[in-house]
């Protein structure tokens, strides 16, 4: 039970009636301080019961200003001793205390200040012992809830122990559990405070007191990073018991958050390994449909998106894809499928009816990302769906587009759909000649890079030269050499089309490998 002004005033050894500011009688006393200086505020921290005889206080305005200073300092109340300097509590102090809601006690001359200090000290000790005892029992209940149930069970128990409300969130502030259920709506109201807490240098609690109610925001931090938040509130001031309950709750929720994060990380790795195998297999294993159904995806309605990002952006991009799926509560699996000097390719498997544009926008992918979206397939054609996504990404890279859909590329569909790899490979080799993959000698690698740049620039000489960092005359000499080796003039629109299709076809062959 909180040590309040009202409880102190009722003690037999104190015998001090509240003569003003009775509306604040429930204020909690943190300590007792005795002072006879005109401005004791430099020695106050808030929550004190200040005892004084008013020895140095004279005049109405001075007395009123004295009460205002103490109110601004956040004291719990004033105990004014009568019978020495003043026969009664001055009217000016009574009026000001009533206006500000500061409890003002009239202390008889025969009540020693030391007896009040001892009474408060004893009550604080008893209150703390009682709070610790109750908090120990509460911690046991919280631990049982953490072991027996999910995060929702623990948040429910936190709310019950506090006799208030509680919400847990993830690192972005999205509610993950709330009790009562309507408490989740409070997160949007507290969003500015939540963001400030998220960017604090150290994980300290943020307390908000308004209209007699108290709200606290605790960061759930591991490895120095905020993994989530506990937001809790009561319709009163929080005392020792509430603070101890919240300390235990924060520890348990942090452990729960870390456990969930580790389990999710392991699950993601297992799913990524399985997805890589499925995408590379021309004939999926017999249990592939059951495996995909276990990911909450329909085995008959699947779509693969290939996401090409810089090598150093892979972890961030994967986190962004999984985060977007979680935020939108959508099923899906992502993995890294390849990496070379040009960058890395990620694959995302989702339902065919998903709004992929919205999902990919929410993933916060780097500006240099190239995305290819394959055609809708069933599980037994998953490899073909992956191939079409790779093909679309290849076109997107050549055309310097962020997102390209295979369904919007009828010429490529005509070339690749239903064709055997040997046929496609023969076409690419026939067109590219000595520049067909794999090229190994430095001169051929330089010419192949020049061809790719020229095709990407759609035959524009200045643009291609600038992208290669060479003079236009150097580019012209290289294009002439490509003409000699392939028998096709890249400056010709038709020959450029054949060369371009051959380069794209090679990309399809590589994806099959």
More confident residue, 429 or 195: 429
| Mean pLDDT (the chain, rounded) | 84
CATH of the domain at 251: 3.30.450.40
Q: Which is nearest to 237 in space by CA: 410, 2, 400? A: 2
Query: Are residues 14 and 45 both part of a single domain?
Result: yes
Distance CA 341, CA 359 (A): 27
Domain annotation covers residue 272: no
What is the bridge-based pairing of β-strands 175-179 and 165-170? antiparallel
Residues with Cβ < 8 Å from 380, sequence gap 6 or more?
283, 284, 288
Residues with Cβ < 8 Å from 209, sequence gap 6 or more?
215, 237
DSSP helix/strand/coil, 482: helix
Domain count, the chain: 4
Query: Are residues 307 and 375 both part of a single domain?
Result: yes
Average pLDDT over residues 488-505: 82
Buried b (16+ CB within 10 A) or exposed e, 289-304: bebbeeeebebeebbb
Q: Which is nearest to 144 in space by CA: 243, 238, 248, 247? A: 248
pLDDT tens string 127-156 = 777 767 777 788 888 888 887 766 788 899
Task: Using the Cα atoms of residue 265, residue 269, residue 274 and residue 277 in order, give the sign of their dihedral.
Answer: positive
Q: What is the CA radius of gyration of the chain?
A: 36
Query: Are residues 305 and 243 both part of a single domain?
Result: no
Question: Is pTM beyond 0.85 here?
Answer: no
Query: Are residues 102 and 53 both part of a single domain?
Result: yes
- In the block, tokens 């999984």 appear at 322
CATH of the domain at 338: 3.30.70.260
Torsion angle of C-alpha atoms 461, 465, 470, 471, degrees rounded to 10: 30
Could you tell me the residue range of the domain that residue 334 belongs to? 281-416
Residues with Cβ < 8 Å from 270, sequence gap 6 or more?
none
Query: Are residues 443 and 341 both part of a single domain?
Result: no
Query: Are residues 406 and 453 both part of a single domain?
Result: no
DSSP helix/strand/coil, 363: coil
pLDDT tens string 384-431 = 899 889 888 877 877 778 899 988 877 677 666 555 567 777 888 888
Tokens of 259: 């456990």
Cβ 9 vs Cβ 18: under 8 Å:
yes
CA-based end-to-end distance of the chain: 72
């Amino acid at each position: 039970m909180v040590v309040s002004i009202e409880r102190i005033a009722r003690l037999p050894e104190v015998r001090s009636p509240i003569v003003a500011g009775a509306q604040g009688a429930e204020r909690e006393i943190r300590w007792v301080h005795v002072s006879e200086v005109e401005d004791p505020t430099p020695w106050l921290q808030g929550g004190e019961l200040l005892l004084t005889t008013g020895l140095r206080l004279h005049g109405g305005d001075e007395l009123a200003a004295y009460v205002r200073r103490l109110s601004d300092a956040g004291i719990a109340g004033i105990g004014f001793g009568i019978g020495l300097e003043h026969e009664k509590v001055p009217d000016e102090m009574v009026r000001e205390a009533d206006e500000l809601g500061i409890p003002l006690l009239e202390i008889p001359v025969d009540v020693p200040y030391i007896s009040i200090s001892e009474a408060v000290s004893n009550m604080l000790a008893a209150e703390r012992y009682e709070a610790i005892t109750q908090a120990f029992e509460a911690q046991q209940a919280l631990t049982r809830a953490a072991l027996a149930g999910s995060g929702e069970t623990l948040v429910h128990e936190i709310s019950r122990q506090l006799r208030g409300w509680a919400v847990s969130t993830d690192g972005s502030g999205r509610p993950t559990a709330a009790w009562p259920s309507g408490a989740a709506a409070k997160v949007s109201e507290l969003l500015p405070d939540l963001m400030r807490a998220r960017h604090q240098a150290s994980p300290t609690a943020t307390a908000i007191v308004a209209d007699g109610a108290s709200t606290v925001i605790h960061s759930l931090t591991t490895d120095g990073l905020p993994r989530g938040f506990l937001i809790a509130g009561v319709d009163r001031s929080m005392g020792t018991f509430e603070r101890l309950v919240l300390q235990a709750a924060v520890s348990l929720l942090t452990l729960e958050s870390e456990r969930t994060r580790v389990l999710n990380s392991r699950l993601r790795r297992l799913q990524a390994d399985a997805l890589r195998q499925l995408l590379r297999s021309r004939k999926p294993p017999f249990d592939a449909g059951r495996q995909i159904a276990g990911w909450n995806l329909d085995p008959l309605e699947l779509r693969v998106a290939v996401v090409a990002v810089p090598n150093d952006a892979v972890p961030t991009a994967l986190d962004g894809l999984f985060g977007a799926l979680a935020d939108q509560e959508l099923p899906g699996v992502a993995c890294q499928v390849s990496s070379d000097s040009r960058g890395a390719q990620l694959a995302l498997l989702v339902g065919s009816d998903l709004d992929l544009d919205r999902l990919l926008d929410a993933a916060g992918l780097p500006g240099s990302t190239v995305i290819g979206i394959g055609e809708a397939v069933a599980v037994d054609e998953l490899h073909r769906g992956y191939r079409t996504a790779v093909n679309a990404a290849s076109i997107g890279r050549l055309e310097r587009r962020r997102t390209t859909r295979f369904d919007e590329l009828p010429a490529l569909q005509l070339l690749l759909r239903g064709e055997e790899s040997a046929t496609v490979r023969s076409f690419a080799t026939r067109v590219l000649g000595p520049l067909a993959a794999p090229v190994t000698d430095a001169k051929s690698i330089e010419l192949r890079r020049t061809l790719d740049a020229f095709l990407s620039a759609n035959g524009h000489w200045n643009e291609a030269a600038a992208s290669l960092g060479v003079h236009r005359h150097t580019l012209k000499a290289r294009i002439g050499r490509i003409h000699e080796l392939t028998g096709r003039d890249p400056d010709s629109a038709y020959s450029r089309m054949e060369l371009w299709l051959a380069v794209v076809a090679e990309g399809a062959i590589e994806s099959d490998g």
